[in-house]
Amino acid sequence: MNRIRILMLASAIIVQCITATAQDIVTEYLGEKHAMMRVHKSKSLLLIPIEEKEDNAHLDVIADNKLVHSLNARLAIDKVDYYVPVDISAYGDNVLLDITFQNDRHKTGSIKSFVCWKESRLSDDFDTSNRERFRPAYHHTPAYGWMNDPNGMFYKDGVWHLYYQHNPYGSQWENMSWGHSVSTDLINWHHQPEAIIPDALGAIFSGCCVVDYNNTAGFGSGAVVAFYTSAKSSQKQCMAYSTDDGKTFTKYSNNPILTADIPDFRDPHVFWHNKTNKWIMLVSAGQEMRIYSSSNLKEWKYESSFGQGYGNHDGVWECPDLMQLPVKSTSEQKWLLICNINPGGPFGGSSTQYFIGQFDGHKFTCESEPKVTKWMDYGKDHYATVSFDNAPNDRHVAMAWMSNWQYANQMPTKQYRSANSLPRDLGLFTDGKEVYVSVLPSPEMSAARGKKIKNLADCCEVVMDIDAKPADIITITLQNKKGEKVLMTYDIAGNTFSTDRTKSGDISFSNEFPAVTTAPTHGVIRQLRIFIDRSSIEVFDADGKMSMTNIMFPNEPYNTLNVKSNKKSKIKQTIYYINNEK
């Protein structure tokens, strides 16, 4: 075929597409802030163009005169950053979108000139293949759109379920819904359809799931029951149940199940308490955690509150969890109460604090002095940590959102925003008079080790055995060819470990991003495990006494590792390649 013929064919195809779009989507302008899109439904998805710098427009989806869906999206006005799909497959042949913009833009151009009208299109597919160089290879990310807290995590019949705060209509926080992914090894995650979407009670904020083996709620034995906060003008706790192992949920018809007259009342966490034979629910309530009990998951009795005067109160308490764990090298069990807080973190912004004590089914009693504050992770990007319900072998597996509210919306990715941390198995250990939480990469991470490599790679684990000389200072530098680097310092006498990301790569998107984070080591570290993925570094003491999670955006992968010891400590490192991209 000669070149002209190819060009002619190509232009014929383009003309056809334009005609198809013009016929199938017709826009009517109803004022400078208001328009209607009539969609003649020839395909299942309406792809709408997004421009991140714009304000959210409100879109009501109307089918057969009924409001069938509502969403907010930053519709493109000047240029298209990316597309998001609106699923219209369930509605009749003609769908109407009633669109209201927040601001009158007539100073910069008439509504008719907004690019969203000519750039919207119908399609049966939405391309989710990765377009982002910073997308991690072995951490969970949403296929597209914004993500914050992990939600509703549970394990059942060999499958780990991870739900998450998701915006399916853009890569900034909005339209909170529960996205869903599943995995059989905690590393390879498979994206599932959206699990719980907003309704007349509000957006779907964070919460949990439990597996109701004894059918206490009457939804069936083994039903998965989800608890979440419906957020609108107030925050109230609601439930939904699934009889197909968490694929689809039916909202309980008597929602909400728990209300309060305070503005911050959210993130229910439910678990079964053996001794009292009751379900327990924790709900974060401003500066405290409220505790409720129930025998049927539907009616909840207030038991007590914990928090006033304890730990850090520089922000709102959010996303609680409570679990019983053995204390290492003892026969004791203690209770760990997780309390995420934003702001107030040790390096600014959001972070996970916790309390150790006793719980009798009614009341949590902290065993530390009120002024003691304990942090679970000493990086800047570890938030909304909660654990999986029903994990096997008495394991307590937690995951955190690997970001910080200070800059999460500005991170230099577009197709998706934010990743989750590696899964971590929690335990307890004693140091002096205090008991602390131990955090270890879940054993599944050792199974993910690939071949041994000589130099650093974009996705790898560095295992560093350290035979430390007293009072040594060990520095570990990860660097790329552009000179971007991450400096880690292990000060043995000072009992501290720190990570400096001030020169780590792209730090320009927020003044809050460049940081040095420092952790107490609780004794000498014998082995460090450093997990590097394309935009994160998680460091663990292999004994579990320190974890540090920080995100980084190097313009090229760090490819050299330089270890220096002032006093000639013996250090041996092994690097394993990790890549779980399918």
Residues that bind ligand FRU (CB under 6 A): 148-149, 165, 176, 205-206, 229, 266-267, 318-319, 384
Q: Is 149 a catalytic residue?
A: yes
In angstroms, what is the minimal distance from the CB of 409 to ligand FRU? 12
> Rounded to the nearest whole angstrom, what is the least distance from the CB of residue 178 to ligand FRU in the complex?
10
Q: Which is nearer to ligand FRU, 314 or 360 (CB)?
A: 314
Q: Is 226 helix (H, G, I), strand (E, B) or coil?
A: strand
Q: How far apart are CA 293 and CA 300, in angstroms?
A: 5
Structure-token pair, residue 294: 């129930």
Q: Provide the edge-to-edge strand list for the sheet that holds 536-541.
A: 452-453, 570-577, 460-467, 527-533, 536-541, 547-551
- Residue nearer to ligand FRU on the CB measure, 78 or 199: 199
Strands 203-212 and 190-196: unpaired
- Given the residues 149, 267, 500, 533, select the one marked as catalytic: 149
- Do residues 72 and 60 make contact, with C-beta atoms less than 8 angstroms apart? no
Report how far residue 403's alpha carbon sits from residue 297's, in angstroms, rounded to the nearest whole number. Answer: 32
Q: Between residues 419 and 460, which has the closer beta carbon with respect to ligand FRU? A: 419
Under DSSP, is residue 20 helix (H, G, I), strand (E, B) or coil?
helix
Cβ proximity to ligand FRU, 163 vs 540, nearer residue: 163
Question: Can you read off the two tokens belonging to residue 148?
Answer: 């914050």
Give the chain's largest Cα–Cα span.
83
3-state DSSP assignment of residue 326: strand
* Residue with smaller CB distance to ligand FRU, 208 or 428: 208
CB of 205 to ligand FRU, least distance (A): 3
Q: How far is the CB of 166 from ligand FRU (least distance, A)?
A: 9
Q: How far is the CB of 438 from ligand FRU (least distance, A)?
A: 24
Contacts 24+ apart (CB under 8 A), 121-124: 121/21, 121/25, 121/46, 121/47, 122/20, 122/21, 122/24, 122/25, 122/39, 122/41, 122/42, 122/43, 122/45, 122/46, 122/47, 123/43, 123/44, 123/45, 123/47, 123/85, 124/43, 124/44, 124/45
Q: Are 458 and 137 in contact (CB under 8 A)?
A: yes
Neighbours of 357 (CB within 10 A): 18
Given the complex with ligand FRU, which of 319 and 456 has the nearer CB atom?
Answer: 319
The partner residues of 73 in beta bridges, in order of sequence, read 57
Min CB(578)–ligand FRU separation in Å: 28
Tell me: cis bond preceding 142? Omega within 30 of 0 counts. no
One-letter amino acid of 558:
Y
Rounded to the nearest whole angstrom, what is the least distance from the CB of residue 339 to ligand FRU in the complex? 11
Give me the sign of the Cα torsion angle 156, 157, 160, 165. negative
> 75 or 176: whose CB is closer to ligand FRU?
176
Query: In whole angstroms, how close is the CB of 321 to ligand FRU at the nearest point?
Result: 13
- By beta-carbon proximity to ligand FRU, the closer residue of 176 and 551 is 176
The least distance separating ligand FRU from the CB of residue 264, rounded to whole angstroms, comes to 8
Instruction: Find the angle CA(40)-CA(44)-CA(49) to the nearest 5 degrees.
Output: 80
Closer CB to ligand FRU, 136 or 349, in the complex: 349
- Which residue, 163, 174, 170, 224, is CA-closest to 203? 174
Burial 408-438 (b: 16+ CB within 10 A, else e): bbebbbebbbbbbbbbbbbbbbbeeeebbbb
At position 71, the amino acid (one-letter code) is L
List the catalytic residues: 149
